[in-house]
């Protein structure tokens, strides 16, 4: 296939793609809820399909409505429902790290499978936690086998790795018998993603909140409550579209919530810094902005980017 790209500038209006990060969280909460929930703003992607497949494996049921843009989900109690087969996480790191603690709730043996690339991603945090709490965790190049049952208590997690490990525990611990605490060793990177998880939990009636800068308290013996929720526009994807305006374009990006908890909303501030000079920018809290910020800096005055270890 031959593709010809001609010099041009972007113009017009476009709706920001829905946030995949928030979609994962809302769908999981819906899949754990008593009753029937509706989640609007779901796009087709392999990662979201992986999360839906895993929910279905646990016994949740769903159907696409409103021309496929919305999903109606009937949830299931993860403490009582064992996975009816392996959890196919495909290449989705969010799916793998969110569902591993959920797989520990029933006390049954569960196999999580993913691509070779996915299985090379760090999982040491869960390995350590399982060893400390007497839970089974066995990993090879193709899969991870775990067995619970996960119990309430105090969990210590380092904060300078993926926040997905913390979010995974946040989904599962409200279903355990007693109150729990997650203690996070500073510095905490990607705190905004933890806040997104807490926001999703609150939408489905779950009590879990910060107690100070480095501790999260989770009330035990809770139940997720079905609701209707909407996935907001994604700031990291919007940044690529909005960047056209810095190259002479005239593009209006719609569907973004101004007071969003997404850490990537800071891209506009970083764009301004790059336009004015050659700034030093730490992107540890917004690694998804790395590609567009680097491209933008290359087109202007350059820049220095730190906090890039997880890119």
**pLDDT tens digits for 55-101?**
999 999 999 998 889 999 999 999 999 899 999 999 999 999 999 99
| pTM for the model | 0.94
- Strand segments, DSSP code E, in 186-271 are 208-210, 215-218, 224-225, 228-230, 250-254
Residues whose CB falls within 8 Å of the CB of residue 130, separated by 6 or more in sequence, listed in order: 104, 136, 137, 146
Residue 251, exposed/middle/buried by CB under 10 A (0-12, 13-18, 19+)? middle
- Rounded to 5 degrees, φ, ψ at 39 are -115, 120
Q: Which residues of 170-184 are buried (b: 16+ CB within 10 A; e: fewer)?
A: bbbbbbbeebbebeb
Q: Mark whether 47 is an active-site residue.
A: no
Helix (H) or strand (E) holding 166: helix 164-172
Q: Given the residues 47, 242, 285, 288, select the one marked as catalytic.
A: 288
* DSSP assignment letter at 186: S
Cα 231–233–237 angle (5° rounding)?
Answer: 130
DSSP calls for 13-57 = EEEPPB-HHHHHHHHHHHHTEESEEEEE-PPP-HHHHHHHHHHHH
pLDDT of residue 285: 87
**pLDDT tens column, 163-205:** 999 999 999 999 999 999 999 999 998 899 999 999 999 999 9
* pLDDT value for 68: 84
**Does the structure show a pLDDT above 80 at 19?**
yes
Domains of the chain in sequence order: 20-230 (3.65.10.10), 233-306 (no CATH)
- For residue 38 the two structure tokens come to 């509706």
On average, the pLDDT of the chain sits at 95
Task: Please name the residues in contact with 189: beta carbons below 8 A apart, sequence gap of 6 or more.
Answer: 159, 160, 161, 163, 284, 285, 307, 310
Quick one: pLDDT at residue 239?
97
Which tokens belong to 51?
A: 């999360």
Q: Is the pLDDT of residue 310 over 80?
A: no
Percentage above 90 pLDDT, the chain = 91
């Amino acid at each position: 296939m031959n593709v010809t790209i001609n010099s041009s500038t972007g113009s017009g209006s476009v709706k920001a793609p829905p946030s995949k990060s928030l979609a994962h969280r809302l769908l999981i909460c819906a899949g754990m809820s008593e009753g029937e929930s509706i989640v609007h703003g779901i796009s087709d992607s392999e990662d979201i399909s992986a999360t839906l497949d895993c929910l279905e494996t646990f016994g949740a049921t769903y159907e696409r409505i409103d021309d496929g843009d919305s999903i109606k989900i009937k949830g299931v109690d993860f403490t009582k429902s064992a996975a009816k087969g392996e959890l196919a996480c495909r290449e989705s790191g969010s799916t793998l790290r969110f569902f591993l603690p959920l797989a520990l709730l029933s006390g049954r043996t569960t196999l999580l499978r993913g691509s070779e690339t996915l299985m090379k991603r760090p999982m040491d945090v869960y390995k350590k936690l399982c060893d400390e709490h007497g839970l089974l965790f066995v990993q090879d190049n193709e899969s991870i086998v775990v067995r619970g049952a996960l119990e309430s208590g105090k969990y210590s997690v380092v904060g300078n790795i993926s926040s997905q490990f913390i979010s995974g525990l946040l989904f599962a611990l409200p279903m355990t018998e007693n109150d729990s605490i997650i203690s996070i060793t500073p510095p905490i990177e990607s705190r905004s993603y933890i806040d997104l998880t807490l926001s999703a939990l609150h939408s489905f009636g779950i009590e879990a909140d910060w107690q100070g800068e480095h501790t999260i308290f989770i009330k035990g013996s809770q139940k997720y409550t079905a609701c209707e929720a909407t996935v907001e526009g994604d700031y990291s994807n919007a940044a690529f579209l909005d960047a056209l305006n810095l190259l002479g374009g005239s593009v209006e990006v719609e569907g973004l919530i101004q007071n969003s908890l997404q850490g990537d909303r800071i891209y506009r501030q970083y764009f301004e810094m790059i336009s004015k000079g050659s700034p030093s920018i730490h992107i540890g809290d917004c690694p998804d902005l790395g590609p567009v910020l680097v491209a933008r800096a290359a087109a202007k005055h350059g820049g220095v980017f730190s906090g890039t270890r997880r890119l």
